[in-house]
Amino acid sequence: MCITEDSEMNENNTANTAPAAEPKKKKSFHVMTVVVYILLSLWGILVLFPFYWMLLTSVKDYGAYSSEYVPQFFTLSPTADNYAEAFSAVPLGQYFLNTLIFTIITTAMMLLVTIPAAFAFSRLEFRGKNLVFTLFLALMMIPNELVIITNFQTITDLGMRNTFSGLILPSVTSVFFIYLLKENFEQIPDELYKAAKVDGTSDLRYLTKVMIPICKPTIITIIILKVIECWNSYVWPRLITDDKAYFLVSNGIQEIRENGFGRENIPAMMAAVVLISVPLIVLFVIFRKKIMEGVSRGGTKG
Amino acid sequence: MKKNSFKAWLYLLPALIFLGVFMLYPLIDVLIYSVEEGYNSASQTSFGIGSYNFSYVLHDPYFMQALQNTFLLVIITVPLSTGLALLISLGLTSIKKLRNLFQTIYFLPYVTNTLAVGLVFMILFKKTAYSDGLVNALISIFGGQSVDFIDGPYWAKMFVLCLYTIWIVLPFKILILTSALASVNEMYYKAARVDGTSKFRTFTRITLPMISPMIFYLVITGFIGAFKAYSDSVALFGTDLNAAGMNTIVGYIYDMLYGDSGGYPSYASAAAIILFVIVLTITVINLMISRKNVHY
């Protein structure tokens, strides 16, 4: 209490003395703030505009859209026809279902692989632990492009093209998530583990009843990052599927662009784009804090 | 102890199997592929060992085109996006009202599907028979000549690709830089204010050195990411990137592997290794520069 009062006092002091010492600066400071707000809003508009445009185009009537030589910034007669078209003219529902299955199974398997490995590295003692862990860290630096060639051959040789196993299996592991979770597990005090051992709790029980609940925030973070990754994955699914029945949304949208709807039905295309974008945006709105925190800890893109 | 050790390996087993099959083995295999000359994926035979694959790739005009596109993309987007992210983050840090709203909006491109939003960019920039598209309409209003940014001249296509790449990568950079700026100890600024230091000097002498590790982190990851560009280009120009002249190194690798021009894992491997060597070299150079200039 005392400390906060003190710092407040300090702030008040500086706030009081600063304008007194240089009264002229105050005005230019305000101008600067206004400029900053204008520039930030400008960038905000640039970010939001593509979203607005896809929403707008998706509710424009096809005929009306085609007759606009200069695109209009709004429409007076919005229609939902394009959304119906998106589901009936191309198998968009199928793409959604595939992506959902792919995302859920991949994420679940990722957890089943990551949690035990992180547990072994953080709590258990075994010979060669440091060597294996160093090897894991070294693997983090290997770019996907280098290993995807053989994976493509492996999956093809195993006859797993156009199957969910072929899509999922190579996408399961992420060394980085193991590393992230291991760091988090290690923050749990050793005493807790020893106490549990004295009580005769098994390792597995300790892991599921103590460690996982404590580290839930980190686990949720990696789940969210994995879900985003799965929802947007394009390269591997493109290589491994050429049967539309196994397309994910990214491949679906590409397919729609090249062959769907007749190339010129852009409103229907935009309806599909909106539908594909919505799930992640909803996820983002709900878990905004968690996602941004998780990404700053471990995400990269671009 | 021994029993414990066995149990530990049991916990590790799933991870080891997955990493072994899908990372470690492919890593060795790609090296083998790259030196096997005349490999045939149908009969799984090759003529012998040599460096022919590398020389083929390096003499392939498509690869040279991809190399040029990728380097241009890297040189343009990495400095621009990092600088822009720094400006935006400084702006964000200097305001209080609406900061959260702006931060949320700026982050949106991160959670969007690259392929899907790329289509929107394509429509905004494309010129078709029946419509000039929005961007060209705007250019016309300001008295400029309309250009097809998707099927037109090289510089126009490069411009859209760079713009879209920057749009996509900025959220991550802004996020990292705003949290770096927020973590600079307030005491330094107070001390500077007491000393009457100018704002510019405060920025160059306090802010910049304090966040320099994060800037370099972004530059390094930015270089790596830009060198691996691919899906942004597909989103804008379609899957046949060679025909559009907008292929990237990664795109070249995948085209060699699969698709109409595919079936050449050896060439793909050689190209992948060339890419890896380029990225590694650039990263090492970056790290050497950062060791000299970054204040930890």
For residue B67, what is the domain's CATH number? 1.10.3720.10
Enclosing H/E stretch for A286:
helix A266-286
Q: pLDDT higher for B214 or A3?
A: B214
Q: How far is the C-alpha of B246 from the C-alpha of B152, rounded, in Å?
A: 12
Domain count, chain B: 1
Residue A91: how many CB atoms within 10 A of its CB? 18
* B interface test, pick of A146, A178, A211 with most B CB neighbours within 10 Å: A146
Q: Which domain holds residue B253?
A: 61-111+162-293
- Quick check: B30 and B272 in contact, CB under 8 A? yes
Using the predicted structure, report yes or no on whether residue A101 has a pLDDT greater than 80: yes
Q: How far is the C-alpha of B203 from the C-alpha of B180, rounded, in Å?
A: 14
Residue written as tokens 């705003």? B178
Residue B50 has what pLDDT? 78
Mean pLDDT of A143-151: 87
Q: How far is the C-alpha of B79 from the C-alpha of A30, rounded, in Å?
A: 30
* A interface test, pick of B86, B106, B112 with most A CB neighbours within 10 Å: B112
Coil, helix or strand at residue B49: strand
Chain A residues whose CB is inside 8 A of the B214 CB are none
Question: A-contacting residues of B 76-135, CB under 8 Å?
Answer: 81, 87-88, 91-92, 94-95, 98, 102-117, 119-121, 123-124, 128, 130-134
Average pLDDT, chain B: 87
Contact B14 A47 (CB under 8 A): no
- Quick check: A302 and B233 in contact, CB under 8 A? no
Q: Considering the domain boundaries, does residue B150 fall inside one?
A: no
Chain B residues whose CB is inside 8 A of the A40 CB are 88, 91-92, 95, 102
Residue written as tokens 């050793």? A190
pLDDT-derived band at A13 (thresholds 50, 70, 90) equals: very low
Q: How far is the C-alpha of A217 from the C-alpha of A289, rounded, in Å?
A: 11
- Fold (CATH) for A90-260: MetI-like fold (1.10.3720)
Using the predicted structure, report yes or no on whether residue B248 has a pLDDT greater than 90: yes
Select, from the ranges A59-73, B77-91, B115-129, the one with the highest average predicted confidence (pLDDT).
B77-91
* Closest residue on chain B to A240 (Cα): B258
Question: A-contacting residues of B 238-277, CB under 8 Å?
Answer: 238-239, 250, 253-254, 257-258, 265, 268-269, 272-273, 275-276
pLDDT digits (tens, 9 = 90+) for A28-67: 568 888 899 999 999 999 999 999 999 998 998 887 787 7
Q: How far is the C-alpha of A108 from the C-alpha of B215, rounded, in Å?
A: 35
Residue A243 has what pLDDT? 87
Token pair belonging to A114: 């990551």
- Look at chain B and count its residues: 296
Residue A166 has what pLDDT? 92
- Quick check: A9 and B71 in contact, CB under 8 A? no
Residue B82 has what pLDDT? 95
pLDDT digits (tens, 9 = 90+) for B143-165: 888 888 888 899 999 999 999 99
pLDDT-derived band at A137 (thresholds 50, 70, 90) equals: confident
pLDDT over 90 for what percent of chain A? 29
Residue written as tokens 């900053």? A36
Token pair belonging to B253: 């690798």
Q: How far is the C-alpha of A43 from the C-alpha of B105, rounded, in Å?
A: 10
Q: For chain A, what are the domain ranges?
A: 15-83, 90-260
Q: Which amino acid is at A191?
A: E
The answer to whether residue A190 neighbours chain B at the CB level (below 8 Å) is no
Using the predicted structure, report yes or no on whether residue B1 has a pLDDT greater than 60: no
Q: How far is the C-alpha of B122 from the C-alpha of B237, rounded, in Å?
A: 8
Q: Considering the domain boundaries, does residue B129 fall inside one?
A: no
| DSSP structural state of residue A189 | -
Contact A57 B123 (CB under 8 A): yes
Q: Which amino acid is at A152?
A: F
DSSP readout, chain A?
A: -HHHHHHHHHHHHHHHHHHHH-TTHHHHHHHHHHHHHHHHHHHHHHHHHHHHHHHHHHTS-HHHHHH-SSPPS--SS--SHHHHHHHHHS-HHHHHHHHHHHHHHHHHHHHHHHHHHHHHHHH---TTHHHHHHHHHHHTTS-HHHHHHHHHHHHHHTT-TTSHHHHHGGGS--HHHHHHHHHHHHTS-HHHHHHHHHTT--HHHHIIIIIHHHTHHHHHHHHHHHHHHHHH--HHHHHH--SGGG--HHHHHHHHHHTTT-TT-HHHHHHHHHHHHHHHHHHHHHTHHHHHHHHHHH----
Q: Considering the domain boundaries, does residue B20 fall inside one?
A: no
Enclosing H/E stretch for B108:
none
Q: Minimal Cα–Cα distance from B292 to chain A, Å?
A: 23
- Look at chain A and count its residues: 302
pLDDT digits (tens, 9 = 90+) for B197-208: 888 888 888 888
Residue A53 has what pLDDT? 92
Q: Minimal Cα–Cα distance from A125 to chain B, Å?
A: 7
The model's pTM is: 0.87
Residues 6+ apart with CB under 8 A from B224: A143, B279, B282, B283
- Count contacts between A and B (CB, < 8 Å): 258
Residue A263 has what pLDDT? 60
Coil, helix or strand at residue B94: helix
- Quick check: B92 and B102 in contact, CB under 8 A? yes
Average pLDDT, chain A: 83
- Quick check: B150 and B240 in contact, CB under 8 A? no
* Closest residue on chain A to B140 (Cα): A70
* A interface test, pick of B3, B16, B34, B113 with most A CB neighbours within 10 Å: B113
Residues 6+ apart with CB under 8 A from B70: B226, B227, B229, B248, B249
Which residues sit opposite B45 in a β-bridge?
B40
User: What is the end-to-end Cα distance of chain A in Å, rounded?
Assistant: 45
Chain A residues whose CB is inside 8 A of the B24 CB are 139
Using the predicted structure, report yes or no on whether residue B40 has a pLDDT greater than 80: no
Q: Considering the domain boundaries, does residue B15 fall inside one?
A: no
Residue B79 has what pLDDT? 95
Using the predicted structure, report yes or no on whether residue A14 has a pLDDT greater than 50: no
Q: Which amino acid is at A171?
A: S
pLDDT-derived band at A11 (thresholds 50, 70, 90) equals: very low
pLDDT digits (tens, 9 = 90+) for A271-281: 989 999 999 99
Choose among A297, A252, A273: nearest CA to A82.
A273
| DSSP structural state of residue B144 | P
Q: Minimal Cα–Cα distance from B247 to chain A, Å?
A: 14
Residue A252 has what pLDDT? 87
* A interface test, pick of B3, B11, B187, B223 with most A CB neighbours within 10 Å: B11
Phi, psi of B48 (to 5 degrees): 170, -170
Q: Minimal Cα–Cα distance from B106 to chain A, Å?
A: 6
Choose among A180, A160, A249, A126: nearest CA to B22.
A160
Q: Considering the domain boundaries, does residue B33 fall inside one?
A: no
Using the predicted structure, report yes or no on whether residue A76 has a pLDDT greater than 70: yes
- Quick check: A122 and A186 in contact, CB under 8 A? yes
Coil, helix or strand at residue B263: coil
Residue A254 has what pLDDT? 86
Question: A-contacting residues of B 51-80, CB under 8 Å?
Answer: none
Token pair belonging to B273: 């290794």
Greatest alpha-carbon span in chain B: 80
Residue B252 has what pLDDT? 93
| Of A160-174, A200-214, A276-290, B120-134, minimum mean pLDDT range | B120-134
